[in-house]
Structure 1
Amino acid sequence: MSTPTLVPCPTCAAPVEWGPQSPSRPFCSERCKLIDLGAWASEEHSIPGNSLEDELFSGELNPSRH
């Protein structure tokens, strides 16, 4: 029998067994999954982009009329 693969939870670093017995993987729990989702929603996490490219394309957008 092989040794289970363990990965650290991205939120709390607790070891998580990678497999169907861990439905929230790579997170250790639903709570850690929601904490991570909240961090993305509040823009604490972001994926770096090219600021020049962002400026070029933002000029193509129509102004918002709310």
Structure 2
Amino acid sequence: MDINLRNAVIHNVSGNSQSQLRDTIVDAIQRGEEKLLPGLGVLFEVIWQNADNQEQNMMLETLEQGLK
């Protein structure tokens, strides 16, 4: 079976409110299950693609600080 992970993740959260999206993200992080990481990656990809250069730089700074 050929499953497009990006499309599946986006389909599952499309139309969700900010609260629902937060709950999805927090739940995935708290569970700590490896199988949820690709879904978080897809959500990050959506954020990155919809961010302007300033927002991307802020994300990179936050990421850099978090990895120190």
- TM-score w.r.t. the length of structure 1 is 0.30
- Structure having the higher helix fraction is 2
Greater length-normalized contact order (CA 8 Å, ≥ 6 residues apart): 2
